[in-house]
Amino acid sequence: MSRYGSLPEVRRLLTAGKWDGQLATVEPPADAEGWEVTGRYGVGYLAVRHLADRFGERRLLEFFAAVVHERRPPDRAAWDVFGEEWAVLHEECVRYVRAAAGVST
């Protein structure tokens, strides 16, 4: 992951306390500065990367379709697609983001 070019912005976002640790709130606010926008999109990218690495792209896309297109709640979609609880996967994703950015919990 060291080749991901926006890790400095992700690290800054995490250390500045600009993100509450919830993937549902990663979308940047309208008044966000450029570095914050980049950092927030970086968090999203890293979380998705973790799920793709763990479950494969096909299942990740199934999860995305279930949540975005079918409007299933993430907890139900995670169970249906991955066979795991969303709360556990969410925490894994957050840990992965923090580790990739070099920020301890």
User: Residue 2 carries which DSSP code?
Assistant: T
- Tell me, rounded to whole angstroms, the distance of Cα 96 from its chain centroid: 9
pLDDT band at 1 (very low <50, low <70, confident <90, very high): low
Dihedral sign for Cα 55, 1, 20, 33, please: negative
Can you give the pTM of this predicted structure? 0.92
- Cα–Cα dist 101/30, whole Å: 24
pLDDT band at 36 (very low <50, low <70, confident <90, very high): very high
Write the pLDDT tens digit of every residue in 51-92. 999 999 999 999 999 999 999 999 999 999 999 999 999 999
